Structure 1
Amino acid sequence: MHATSPLPLLKRVPPGAWITLVWCTSMLLTLLARVRLPGEWQPDQLPAVQLYRWDGLLIHALSTVMVLVGAWLLERRPLAALTWLILAPICETATLGAGGLPMAQYLTPIVALYFIASARPRRTAGAALAMGIGTLVVYIATRLLCGWPAGISAEVAVALVTVIAWLLGTSTRHAREHAERMSAQTAAQAVTAERLRIAREMHDTVAHSIGIIALQAGAAARVATTQPEAAREAMRAVETTGRETLAGLRRMLVALRAADAGQGDDTAAAAQPAGLDDVDRLAAATTAAGVRVEVQRVGEPRQLPPDIDLSAFRIIQESVTNVVRHSGTHACRVTVDYGEEELALEVTDDGRGRSTSTDTGFGLAGMRERVALLHGQFSAAPRPEGGFRVAARLPVPAGAR
């Protein structure tokens, strides 16, 4: 199994721990603001009478218990947790003599609102925002109806910070959902690409060999009574081609299993794919089956990247297979041009110049896909003078030139 990288340190801390940390920090800031620090003539905010009395300390403890309960419920029952986290600053504000819910005390519900908006569905996040803003409105309205002073300006700032925290959480959720969709889409595309690659390899490996086998078997059937030795030779060719096909399929399966199991280079080396060095063997086998293949090389042959080498061979193999199956001719020409910046392939014949009703079109589609993956150019069409022409141009990377 593949090892997964551990989460960043900050992401390992659960939301409830962050809530508790924010509450302790806000309590510390509240007490520091009501103590004359060095360099100050008086505290930044005057303390209320009950702040340090037994009833004030009891309210501090009760508020802290509410925060702990809300932090414990946050990941299981977010709206219930937010209720406790809103009641805690309301209770704590009773000991401060403030005209509204101070920003320091309301930071705990604000942070909780961010976590809810980032992790919960849209409906839950909307209900949490309504609870957060509605509490501020009800709190100020109650003080105004009772004739008590109300810090409306400070509450507007608290409400803005609350909305901003909710928007940040919503943006985080949308980004995560988008990343999950893109990951799923990428995985689906990778699976589709792998299926197409396997289908191309299976088609290219089997189609040519089956065509040769069909030709040899037909020839053996025609001369079985009149030329027994020729019939036996054709059947030996059928056996040889069948064994080569099975070996090719076995190499492909070994490579696929090795890639799936994550094995090393030894297994991959044992399943070495075909390349342009096998064109002569392909031409000899096809010629022996009754369709003469003339191979012409232009330029100096050189080592090519494995993907280009394999694709070039498969294009030639599929083109020759189409000549055997559909052209109705007894000869074709293969040209391999080793250019400085590209590899040019051309397969031509003098046959019918069109596909038959038995042609499914998978071969041409597979060749076109191979060339497109290598950012090359592909064409396949009847020739004006008769016959059919398949041409492909595959760019060669600068490091392989």
Structure 2
Amino acid sequence: MPAAPPPPPLVKRVSPAAWIALVWGASTLFTLLTTFRLPGETEPAQWPAAQLYRWDGLTFLALSTALAVQGGRLLHRRPLLAVALTILAGILETATLGVAELPLAQYLTTMVALYFVAAAHPRRTGLVALAMAVGTLILYLAVRMLRGWPAGTSAELAVALVTVIAWLLGNSAHESREHAQRLGAELSAQAVTAERLRIAREMHDTVAHSIGIIALQAGAASRVATAHPEAALTAMRAVENEGRRTLAGLRRMLVALRAADPGQDPDTVPAGLADVDRLAATTTAAGVRVEVRRLGEPCPLPPDIDLSAFRIIQESVTNVVRHAGTRACRVTVDFRDERELAVEITDDGLGQGTSTDTGFGLVGMRERVALLHGEFTAAPRAEGGFRVTARLPLPVAVR
């Protein structure tokens, strides 16, 4: 039984929406604490304002909290709207504090949202979000100056500087992930090429010499068939023996190529969708529950389609165990009107990850499906998590 994988780091176990809520709660608590005289202080860092003692201040606080939480929920699907909501939440909370600038504590949630946008979305989206965040600070100071109100310019410059740093950190994470993906794609391509070369070498070593001997023996038999039938019979027996040895060698090679691990016993290698339940049981025992659902009327499948469908499920479930950071996934096997076989693997995990191992991964699954003239997709889900789907057309004989 394989050992359960180690849990992902805390940063990856907590979703961006949860981080937004945690940071907002912490910054609000910090703001409230500054209105009290803490140990070692002669007076509070700031005097209590409407936020603590008036119903309108508490209303603004509740409204700003709702905006910040909603911004965290929209961070994945509508990042710019999410950043706008966190900015508005910070402004509403600041309005009850009686200060001359947008404080760092009230803008910290926007900075965290900006980091996640820069890290997980295209650079253009991140730059627009940065312009929104910094532009709001400039506009806030400009309005106060035009109205003749005090403006905390120095403090606001510090907030703007930290905002830019948050974007730089997120952009750096984005570039690191893209580099890892490019490196993984290159390594996968190299692995595919190396595997094809290995298969070509094995085919050459197994077949070329034997076919040459068979051709020579068959030619000799045809030349002496009339004059020396005993010699012709001997040559044909040699052809038969060499053919059997070649066929046995090809079978051993194909069994080895179909094995999941080089050292695995070929007799125990799963061969198709009939072994999905065993795969689910093994994975569940390792700590990740696999729910298997079958739709449509099952029908006998060609070995290549049966094996490819199982390998896609196996690789996807392995990716869930290694990278998704979740404890459950769902596998759907759908026989659609006996015209195609569809498999879908979904999870509610992180929806993204970086893997630089030299295995086939998504590249190998896509290649399997392409060889069978099917359709393959693998992408994060809008509601969170990741989805892998493969549609394999069935031959007319199966229908």
Cα distance in 2 between the residues matched to 1:237 and 1:265: 30
Shift in alpha-carbon separation, 1:178–1:267, aligned structure 2, 3 A: same
Q: Which residue of 1 aligns with 2:312?
A: none
Cα distance in 2 between the residues matched to 1:3 and 1:227: 69
**CA shift at 1:152, angstroms?**
0.7
- Give the partner amino acid of 1:143: R
Q: Which residue of 1 aligns with 2:191?
A: 190
SS of equivalent to 1:38:
coil
Map 1:2-401 to 2 at 5 A: 6-48=7-49, 51-259=52-260, 263-264=264-265
**CA shift at 1:186, angstroms?**
1.5
- Give the partner amino acid of 1:138: L
**CA shift at 1:115, angstroms?**
0.7
- Give the partner amino acid of 2:152: G
**8 Å Cα contact 1:20/1:68 also seen in 2:** yes
**8 Å Cα contact 2:51/2:61 also seen in 1:** no
Cα distance in 1 between the residues matched to 2:170 and 2:198: 42
**8 Å Cα contact 1:47/1:97 also seen in 2:** no
- Give the partner amino acid of 2:225: A
Cα distance in 2 between the residues matched to 1:219 and 1:110: 83
**CA shift at 1:262, angstroms?**
8.0
**CA shift at 1:93, angstroms?**
1.2
Shift in alpha-carbon separation, 1:223–1:114, aligned structure 2, 3 A: same
**8 Å Cα contact 1:35/1:43 also seen in 2:** yes
Larger Rg: 1
Tell me whether 173-182 or 99-108 shows the greater mean CA deviation: 173-182
Alignment coverage as a number of residue pairs? 268
Cα distance in 2 between the residues matched to 1:4 and 1:49: 51
Cα distance in 1 between the residues matched to 2:263 and 2:10: 30
What stretches of structure 1 of length at least 5 have no aligned partner? 269-401
Tell me whether 127-136 or 232-241 shows the greater mean CA deviation: 232-241
What stretches of structure 2 of length at least 5 have no aligned partner? 270-399
**CA shift at 1:148, angstroms?**
0.9
Cα distance in 1 between the residues matched to 2:105 and 2:177: 29
Cα distance in 1 between the residues matched to 2:87 and 2:51: 21
Deviation by residue 1:60-97 (Cα, 9 ceiling, x = unmatched) = 22221221222222222111121111111111112211
**CA shift at 1:259, angstroms?**
3.7
**8 Å Cα contact 1:114/1:169 also seen in 2:** yes
**8 Å Cα contact 1:217/1:235 also seen in 2:** yes
TM-score, normalization: structure 1?
0.62
Cα distance in 1 between the residues matched to 2:107 and 2:46: 17
SS of equivalent to 1:220:
helix
Deviation by residue 1:23-75 (Cα, 9 ceiling, x = unmatched) = 11111111111211122211122333664222222222222122122222222
CA RMSD of aligned residues (A): 2.4
- Give the partner amino acid of 1:251: R
- Give the partner amino acid of 2:59: L
Q: For CA contacts below 8 A with separation 6 or more, give which structure has more relative contact order.
A: 2
